[in-house]
Structure 1
């Protein structure tokens, strides 16, 4: 299977999307991922192996745990960014939409922003909008912290911005 397809299949699962979010701000072991997501250690290990084979997570070291060794993983989120849209992203879009529903149910009261639009704009306006979307994504990814770090809040950011056929 070629790399883009393998990466798409790996990320087209809501649980794996949650793992990637966790591993953006922290280097975690399978046991830590399992505790944070409320799943079994075996389930976390399986999904981390799928993500690792697809190049979506990388090993970030090892730690000694009760006479054994546990791998720590992280998500180098910038690796997956590309201007090219690989074919077959429908699975990833479906997984994103499921994640959006889950995250929306877990929202807290307060300020939020939703936007759904199918509009006609100039190339200049579209380029500016895409740049702002990329800036927002980079801002939250670059400042992501380990789960439950003091003075942080859990947030959801789901973005889909794309040109359309006329």
Structure 2
């Protein structure tokens, strides 16, 4: 399952599609218009997301003599608990963040924070729970794209416990060496 999910998220358009379908169902045609891609490409990406269990058929309706299928993001998708492929998921989120940052509206304030911090076990659990609640609240308040009275916002959070650098160095799994000051 984890491999299917990670493969489905390998394309940045699929992550955008999941975000667009979170507040409500959309068809391949609606996604194609919103993302400025072909209907065939939107359908192909939807099939990949459905195969991974990240979207589900929400409704079918007759439209101008044809059938339209509308899909929604499966709430509770296993994105935050990916243990295998965490680095890949982080790279996918980073790619999406770069794309979103290019569309940032400089006229409106945002929030940026970054850190590798040491906190108590109790504090970490409180903050982790709070961040999850914040993410849930933002998703719950989301409305379909272009709903009157709404504004587009971008949110990316990936907070997790790490091993101490000395622990990873001792086990031979350390990342890159930080640059030295000159």
TM above 0.5, yes or no, is yes
Separation (CA, whole Å) in 2 of partners of 1:152 and 1:143? 10
The number of residues matched between the two structures is 163
Matching residue within 37, 40, 43 for 1:39:
37
CA RMSD of aligned residues (A): 1.3
Show structure 1 runs of 4+ deviating over 4 A.
none
Tell me the alpha carbon deviations over residues 24-72 of structure 1, each in whole angstroms, 9 at most, x when there is no partner. Answer: 0121100000000111101100000000000000000112133221110
Q: Is the 8 A contact 1:60 1:73 kept in 2?
A: yes
Change (3 A) 1:78 1:148: same
Larger Rg, first or second structure (1 or 2): 2
Matching residue within 110, 113, 132 for 1:112:
110
Structure 1 gaps, min length 5: none
Matching residue within 72, 90, 93 for 1:93:
90
Matching residue within 67, 73, 79 for 1:69:
67
Instruction: Tell me which of the two structures has the higher relative contact order, counting C-alpha pairs closer than 8 angstroms and 6 or more residues apart.
Output: 1
Separation (CA, whole Å) in 1 of partners of 2:77 and 2:102? 30
Q: Secondary structure at the match of 2:89?
A: helix
Give the aligned partner of residue 15 of structure 2. Answer: 17
Deviation at 1:76, TM superposition (A): 2.0
Q: Secondary structure at the match of 1:93?
A: helix
Tell me the alpha carbon deviations over residues 73-92 of structure 1, each in whole angstroms, 9 at most, x when there is no partner. Answer: 0002223266x442123222
Change (3 A) 1:81 1:39: closer
Change (3 A) 1:12 1:89: farther
